[in-house]
Amino acid sequence: MRKQIAAANWKMNLTYTEGQQLLADILQNDLGSKDNHEVIFAVPFPYLIMAKEKTTALKNYFIAAQNCSNKKSGAYTGEVSVEMLDSIKIKHCIIGHSERREYFGETNEMLAEKTNLLLEKGLTPIFCCGEPLEIREAGTQNEYVARQLKESLFHLSADDIKKVVIAYEPIWAIGTGKTATTEQAQEIHAYLRSVIADQYGAEVADEISILYGGSVKANNANELFSCPDVDGGLVGGASLVAIDFIEIIKALS
């Protein structure tokens, strides 16, 4: 049974004290995570150790970095390596978020390198893919996201790709208040799974969690997560509000 995941992406928000309080407000609730549920907090780099310490004793709670370098080490001022993340026992990392692609010019090739480094150290990549508005309006979103998967992930073995979590982001729905309809979300998630199945077989594809990452909120999580190929969400703004993210966690199927 593949994992059902509620992943919080704090992005560049919250002070250290605010982050501590948000975690405390969420973690004080006994959400009774099932064995196939995971809750992940992707926090800014300075907060990783603090967040790790707060969740270490809790079942099915994990801390993720929001990015990593595609280089092992060296003269790359300001970058954070996979080895550094591993050294503080961080086991998840978001890569390829649309903001990283758009603002920092990250390419599919770079993300393939990041994927390799993460898997070499036993970290779980949360690989983001998704199309901008002009691609959606042109009706070519399937080809667009398939290329992202193929160029960044399809060099992996079947055993390794099963270790990757995929997060589909309709870029046109991030921070805009727009959300893909339940039918649109299920359609593209099913398509992504079919692309993986064509390469690796249906059994492998059925083991990979695919999250929805476009304006997931407390009032739409139940409907989105009820889709058979939507295995949870990568949540931005709503993850910064304790009562909202708690409801999103509860919506996991």
Residue 251's CB is within 10 A of a number of other CB atoms, namely 21
Q: Are strands 92-95 and 124-129 parallel, antiparallel or unpaired?
A: parallel
83 is catalytic: no
Q: Which of 92, 97, 99, 106 is catalytic?
A: 97
Residues near 27 by beta carbon (within 8 Å), at least 6 away in sequence: 54, 55, 58, 61
Q: Which of 38, 99, 131, 169 is catalytic?
A: 169
The reply to whether CATH 3.20.20.70 applies to domain 4-250 is yes
Domain ranges for the chain: 4-250
Q: What's the pLDDT tens digit per position in 136-180?
A: 889 999 999 999 999 999 999 999 999 999 999 998 877 666 667
Q: Are strands 37-42 and 61-65 parallel, antiparallel or unpaired?
A: parallel
Q: What's the pLDDT tens digit per position in 7-26?
A: 999 999 999 999 999 999 99
Q: What is the mean pLDDT of residues 209-231?
A: 94
pTM, two decimal places: 0.96
